[in-house]
Amino acid sequence: MDEERQVSATHAAASEESALKHQIKHVSRPLAYASGWMKFLAIISVLTAIYAVVAAWWTVFWMWLQVWLAFLLWKAADGAGRASDSGDAETLQDGLDRLRLYFKISGILALLGLISVIFGIFFPLPRLVGA
């Protein structure tokens, strides 16, 4: 009699496990069909995160460059004022060197901007929205 109960209990457990597996397969089927799209969106999310990091670093670089240019201009003005008061040629030379570097960097940035505009006119990016 104990053997019959054990066999019956084993069959009942196997039947419940089979029913549970069938339920899991039924419930997970729509997710399995959409798994390609889920992976695609995961890749897009990673690429978006990489773009955000690059944009953030570019922003930090641009801010640092503007602060450095402001510092150069400030020191050039300070050097010119001190040279005017003291008549010291070395102070004047230091201020002029800083002013030269300021205009050189500003000129390079302006040239890069002009090249970008010209490149954008002759090789425009395709419009992604609208016709």
Report yes or no on 107 lying in a domain: yes
pLDDT tens track for 53-106: 999 998 999 999 999 999 999 999 999 999 989 988 999 999 999 999 999 999
| DSSP code of residue 34 | T
- What lies within 8 Å, CB to CB, of 88 at 6+ separation is 82
3-state secondary structure of 127: coil
12 belongs to a structural domain:
no
User: In the chain, what's the furthest Cα-to-Cα distance?
Assistant: 117
pTM over 0.75: no
CA distance 107 to 43: 40
* pLDDT of amino acid 130: 58
- What digits encode the pLDDT tens for the residues 18-39? 888 888 888 888 888 889 999 9
Question: What is the residue range of 98's domain?
Answer: 58-131
Q: Has residue 100 been placed in a domain? A: yes
- Rg over alpha carbons for the chain, rounded to the nearest Å, is 35
Number of structural domains (the chain) is: 1
Q: Are the C-beta atoms of 102 and 66 separated by less than 8 Å?
A: no
